[in-house]
Copies of this chain bind each other. A is one copy, B any other.
Amino acid sequence: MAFVLDPRLEADTHPVMELGLSSLRLMNDARYPWFILIPRVDGVVEILDLSELDQARLWGEIRQLARFLRGAVPGAKLNVAALGNVVPQLHVHLLARTPEDDAWPRPVWGVHPPIPRTQGEVDHWASQARSFLQGLSS
């Protein structure tokens, strides 16, 4: 069966690029540099539901995205999480936290309503991520 992005994930994010396994999307919340990776495999809820090969590819994509965020937000604390309590379709959050952000030191989920990004902010993050990640193998 073809992969279909969960409509809630689609509504909460902007598309950035397609990696080898996952769609990379930007959360529509200007409070944080916040990306999600969604493996394009139908019916997958847990990391363990992926094939061994795809689990390794996902780990590689998490690490590439972490490298990008560490460079883009120097000194930030990275938060990496696969939760899926609300939207079960497997997706991995990767975001940069700083002591100045609105939820610090709490996790970001459910703390504040999102502040939608301007088109300029979307373009900025999407183009930065694409520049860094393009050409990297996964």
Contact = CB atoms under 8 A, between A and B. Distances in A.
A82 B80 contact: yes
A55 to B, nearest CB: 7
Interface string A54-75: 0110010011001100100000
Contacts of A78: 46-48, 82
Copies in the complex: 2
A67 B48 contact: yes
A107 to B, nearest CB: 5
A97 B66 CA distance: 26
Contacts of A46: 66, 70, 77-78
Interface of A: 45-48, 55-56, 59, 62-63, 66-67, 70, 77-86, 88, 97, 104-107, 109-110
13 contacts: A46-B66, A46-B78, A47-B63, A55-B59, A56-B59, A59-B59, A77-B85, A79-B85, A80-B81, A80-B82, A81-B83, A83-B107, A106-B110
